Amino acid sequence: MKIILPYSPWWLLLFAILSIALALLLYFKNPYDALSKPWKNTLIVTRSIVFFLLFFLLLTPYIQKNKKIVYPPEIILLVDNSQSITVDNSFNEISTKIKSLTDKYSKNYIWHNYSFSNVITNKLLFTFDGKATNLYDALQLAINKSLENDNIRAIILVSDGINTQKQDPRFLFNKFKNPIYTIGLGDTTTQTDLQVSKIQCNEKIPIGSNFPIEIILNAKKAKGKTSKLQIFIDDELWYSENINITHDNYSKILTIQAKAEKEGIHKIKVTWQQISEEKNIKNNNLSKSIEVVKQKYKIGILACATHPDIGAINRALSSVLLNEVQLIRPGIDPIANDLDVLIIYQLNSACINTSKIEELKQSTIPIWLFIGTQTQLPLATSIVPWIGNLINSSYIESQVKVNEQFPLFQIANEELHFFEQAPPIITLYPRNRTSIKFPTIFYQKIGTATTTNPVMFFYQSINKNIAVFNGEGIWRWRIESLRNNNNNFDTWVIKVINYLLTTTKEGFKIIVESVYQSVDPINIYAELINPSGELINTPEIQIIINSNQGYSNKYLFSRSGNGYSLQLGQLPPGVYNYSATVLSPDFPFTAKGFFIVEKIDVELQDLTANHDLLKEIANASGGKFLYFSELDSLEKILKSQTMSQKYYTIEKITSSVIGSWIYLVIITLLLGFEWFIRKYMGGY
């Protein structure tokens, strides 16, 4: 404890002198006082102290003392509330046992309770009706909470381990701070089950073209059985085959060619008929919507330098039937005027002259410009002036950091992790640091340091979109994507091309996916461009959305960066038409279109509990895996010294001396003592 004075301590000396002087004045100038000299001296000292204490209050002193505040330890509890939990008959006991556990230790711990499925709620729900399971987001929430709070002792995860969302929780293993105790629910016993796992085909098909439909089938504990597979297009039987199941862990990929004969939206439905002993038949059926369109996009690749990147880009684009990819050889092949997108790889004077560059600038053909070691930057600057900041800079090897707030199209967590962990490429390190205001998807990452140097950004000219990639070596990314058995690289290339294709002469566009799953959040973006070619978001934008199932709503977009965004959340399955309007007489623009929401019961696709994943999570975090039947063993962990150790903080408490009752008592006792002695000795 200490006393704090808001004024100079020299005042104390003045008050001491003044207090003694007043006490002496009162006693030595009193000729009728009958006190003896020792008692008079005693009372002078007493009165001096009283005066000093009273004068001391004029300085408004404060008392500061340390107070120890003890907090009970805290635990984060995550409970899986998805449909797959109901497979195990013991799911009826989950609610009772979990509530009993938290109630029993409510005084020992502070519980942070969450239920999760495709959404996360900050309370315990035991409805078990979630349409998907997102273990990644649930663990990410717990990690963030533990980083904010040093008093978190552990995370308890109660789940069957079936993760139906794309994000793999293993990406979080190196971020665990606290032990995670996983409680295994569900049934790990393999049941007889036929499953139509996936229908793979392009979502947009050019009319008149043949396209493959790839169907992935899986069967468990059904060796020797035969089941009929049927494929329907728009409810008409189009293909039928009897499938002989030859193994207990059976898998088959069936590829069938179809023809896009009629423009519009079409529904493909695959049915694998039920067999004996099969209990779960929800995953015997699967549907997918496609759109047959008239347009086929022509994409040109102007190869100004020989590089394996060109092959990687070409293969990614050629995987989509809507693309007709043309490789343009400098000096040999002309640049067609009817191209929908032109990719220029490492522009230089040997490839194209300045007059042709000026012609391309004036055309409405969107451009994807790749900059590398063979690029002549002054020529590239004539297309995108900002590139002038990169002249005389040097090339270095680096990785990329993904801008999670990138506004032009969505980047899934799986794609984000892929690019940030992808092999390094050669990028240009600017000599002069210059800020960039254009939408940037990749920043330069050197070692562990993330810079503000753009590796890829998007530029908006008055008549088209331009993408700029500042680097070379992306062929390594595609090899890494193929090695990991994913299509993240091809998806990225296609998203960039799709964005470039959205250029409109009016300067207003709606950015929306063609097909969503019923468990996916639906986000719609809008862009408005003024006559100078700049993105603006001053006017309001209204959108009206209707579905063939009777859904109808009107929304206003929110402003996001230089554009607009609208978060709709999840919508019921159906075909949704939209009409967006700019609410400004200066921009009389309207955009119309549609998107599809497909019904998918991902929770019912695979009902075999994945306790191996729960064990991996527990081991990676330093925790422990327990079966639900072993829940009592968790109590021993909760009672352990490490878990039950309390957390405390020292806080400084400040209070005014004037309000202290102890101070008042001291002054009162001193005055009382003085009065008693004076009276006892016959004084007055």
Q: With residue 676 as reference, give the H or E element that holds it.
A: helix 661-680
**CATH number for the 297-501 domain, one of 1.10.1040.10, 3.40.50.880, 3.90.850.10, 1.10.1200.10?**
3.40.50.880
The count of other CB atoms within 10 Å of the CB of residue 292 is 19
- Residue 367's pLDDT is 94
Rounded Cα distance, 520 and 533, in Å: 33
Average pLDDT over residues 314-332: 86
Stretch among 336-340, 421-425, 502-506 having the lowest mean pLDDT? 502-506
Work out the mean pLDDT of the chain and round it to a whole number: 86
**Domain parsing of the chain, residue ranges:** 2-67+652-680, 73-186+608-645, 193-293, 297-501, 508-601
**CATH number for the 73-186+608-645 domain, one of 3.20.20.70, 3.40.50.410, 3.40.190.10, 1.10.3720.10?**
3.40.50.410
Taking 70 as the threshold, does the pLDDT of residue 29 lie above it? Answer: no
Q: pLDDT of 115-171, one tens digit each?
A: 999 889 999 999 988 888 889 999 999 999 998 888 898 999 999 999 887 678 988
- Residue 500's pLDDT is 87
Average pLDDT over residues 366-392: 90
Superfamily of domain 508-601: Macroglobulin (MG2) domain (2.60.40.1930)
- Look up tokens 């009706």; give the residue: 129
Stretch among 5-14, 157-166, 237-246, 357-366 having the lowest mean pLDDT? 5-14
User: How far apart, in Å, are the Cα atoms of 204 and each of 266, 321, 329?
Assistant: 10, 8, 29
Do domains 193-293 and 508-601 share one topology? The answer is yes
- Residue 433's pLDDT is 66
Domain 193-293 class in CATH: mainly beta
Rounded Cα distance, 376 and 363, in Å: 22
Pairing of strands 180-184, 204-206: unpaired
Contacts of 355 (CB under 8 A, 6+ apart): none
Taking 80 as the threshold, does the pLDDT of residue 541 lie above it? Answer: yes
Against a cut of 0.85, is the pTM above it?
no
- Residue 648's pLDDT is 64
Show the tokens assigned to 257.
């060619």
Give the burial string for 590-609 (b: 16+ CB within 10 Å, else e).
ebeebbbbbebbbbbbbbbb
Average pLDDT over residues 249-257: 90
Q: Are the C-beta atoms of residues 192 and 220 closer than 8 Å to each other?
A: yes
Rounded Cα distance, 117 and 115, in Å: 7
- Residue 582's pLDDT is 93
**Strand ordering across the sheet containing 110-116:** 120-121, 110-116, 74-80, 152-159, 180-184, 624-627
State the DSSP code for 329: P
The count of other CB atoms within 10 Å of the CB of residue 662 is 8
